[in-house]
Amino acid sequence: MGPGTDAGHSWIDELSGGQLQKVCIARALVQEAKVLLLDEPTSSLDLKNQLDILHTIGRVIREHRISAVMTMHDLNLAFRFADRFLFLKNGKVFAGGRPDHVNGDMVAAVYGVKVDILRHNGQVVIVLN
């Protein structure tokens, strides 16, 4: 048994992507950050871990009364968890606002694809045309 496996401890290079993301969030909290800046916190995670991380971030910001600013390319996950959006195009803010202000023309202008924006079980969902 190696030193990273006794008593339920692991070396940092033995952690899964989801576990590593949680460690990074914990480190920010220990430093008493007022804002979490997260760059693609769900990249390279499976669907379960993506949801787990985003639920964790949501719980942390509510409990610690802090904010999180994150980049995301998965619009459906972003719509599910974000309170506000900023769409960037060519390095500049193209549009912003609440999720219910986003429309298909806005997404098409930024990403170059036609989409339908639907509601399913109270959630906004983007579907490619």
Checking if the pLDDT of 111 tops 90, the result is: yes
Chain-wide mean pLDDT for the chain? Answer: 84
Q: Where are the domains of the chain?
A: 6-71
pTM over 0.85: no
Strands of the chain, DSSP E: 35-39, 67-71, 85-89, 92-97, 115-120, 123-128
Q: Tell me: the pLDDT tens digits for 21-79?
A: 777 777 776 777 789 888 888 888 889 989 988 998 898 889 989 999 999 999 999 99
Tokens representing residue 87 in the block: 């769409």
